[in-house]
């Protein structure tokens, strides 16, 4: 799902209509013209399907998922993300899979499907841990704590805050660790 690069000093191949539509969609997004972007990405998707271009299909599906998520159309967004995910899985593109997993977790949170959001965010947390990314882990733990508080699971929220505090403490960020411990105490008290 890696974005196709253009430019450089090498001679460029003629861009397909699908690639031109995709690039137009990117420009529309930059100009905050969501409706035109959606139309361009849809056209790009159709073109990539005709070309049997998996990478293009994944990229266009991902962008359409983002647009649907912004509009609060969770089912449509999930459908687009799932299509992109399947292609990335087929090509063992772990970086893109992780990107989509984070988007799907956020989508579930935003659509108040908290059980699914928790499941997905726990997977995201595992991935950040495996990547040894403490900031990603802390951010994910904070989000999990928010969800746990929304669902009345105060003890789990407190545990998430304590884990975040522990990560900060291991980097000698004592003030930040104390703030997370205070949030844990507050969550535990109710």
Q: How many CB atoms lie within 10 A of CB 11?
A: 5
What pLDDT, on a 0 to 100 scale, did the predictor assign at position 3? Answer: 59
Q: Which two tokens stand for residue 189?
A: 């008290």
Looking at residue 10, what is its pLDDT? 53
Instruction: Judge whether 45 and 22 are in contact, CB under 8 Å.
Output: no
Give dist(CA 98, CA 128) in Å, integer: 9
Could you say which of 92, 111, 130 is where a domain stops?
Answer: 111
Domain total of the chain: 2
Q: Identify whether residues 64 and 123 lie together within a single domain.
A: no
Can you give the pLDDT at residue 8? 46
Rounded distance, CA 25 to CA 31, Å? 10
For the question of whether the overall pTM of this predicted structure is more than 0.95, the answer is no
Residue 119 lies in a domain: yes
Say which DSSP state 9 is in: S
Residues 6+ apart with CB under 8 A from 64: 38, 41, 42, 45, 76, 80
Residues 148 and 125 in one domain: yes
Of 111, 129, 156, at which residue does a domain stop? Answer: 111
Q: For residue 111, how many C-alpha atoms fall within 13 Å in the half-sphere facing its CB?
A: 21
CB 62, CB 84: distance < 8 Å? yes
100 in the same domain as 118: no
pLDDT of residue 5: 45
Residues 74 and 107 in one domain: yes
Among the listed residues 79, 75, 70, the one whose alpha carbon sits nearest the alpha carbon of residue 34: 70
Please indicate, yes or no, whether residues 183 and 119 belong to a single structural domain of this protein: yes
Task: Look up the CATH number of the domain holding residue 141.
Answer: 1.25.40
Nearest to 117 by CA among 74, 61, 65, 62: 74
What token pair was written down for 24? Answer: 């137009």
Asked if the structure places residue 2 within a domain, the reply is: no
128 lies in which domain range?
114-190
In this structure, are 95 and 133 located in the same domain? no
Q: Decide if 164 is inside a domain.
A: yes
Split the chain (190 residues) into runs of 10 and give each run's mean pLDDT.
Answer: 53 86 98 98 98 98 98 97 98 96 98 98 97 97 98 98 97 97 95
């Amino acid at each position: 799902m890696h974005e196709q690069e253009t430019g450089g000093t090498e001679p460029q191949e003629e861009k397909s209509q699908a690639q031109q539509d995709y690039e137009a969609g990117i420009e529309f997004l930059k100009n905050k013209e969501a409706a035109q972007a959606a139309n361009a990405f849809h056209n790009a998707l159709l073109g990539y399907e005709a070309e049997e271009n998996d990478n293009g299909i994944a990229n266009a599906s991902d962008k359409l998922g983002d647009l649907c998520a912004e509009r609060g159309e969770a089912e449509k967004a999930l459908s687009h993300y799932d299509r992109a995910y399947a292609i990335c899985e087929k090509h063992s593109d772990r970086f893109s899979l992780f990107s989509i997993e984070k988007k799907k977790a956020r989508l579930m949170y935003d659509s108040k499907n908290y059980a699914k959001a928790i499941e997905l965010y726990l997977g995201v947390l595992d991935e950040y841990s495996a990547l040894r990314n403490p900031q990603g882990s802390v951010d994910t733990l904070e989000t999990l704590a928010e969800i746990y508080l929304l669902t009345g699971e105060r003890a789990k929220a407190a545990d998430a805050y304590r884990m975040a505090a522990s990560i900060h403490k291991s980097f000698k960020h004592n003030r930040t660790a104390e703030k997370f411990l205070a949030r844990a105490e507050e969550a535990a008290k109710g």
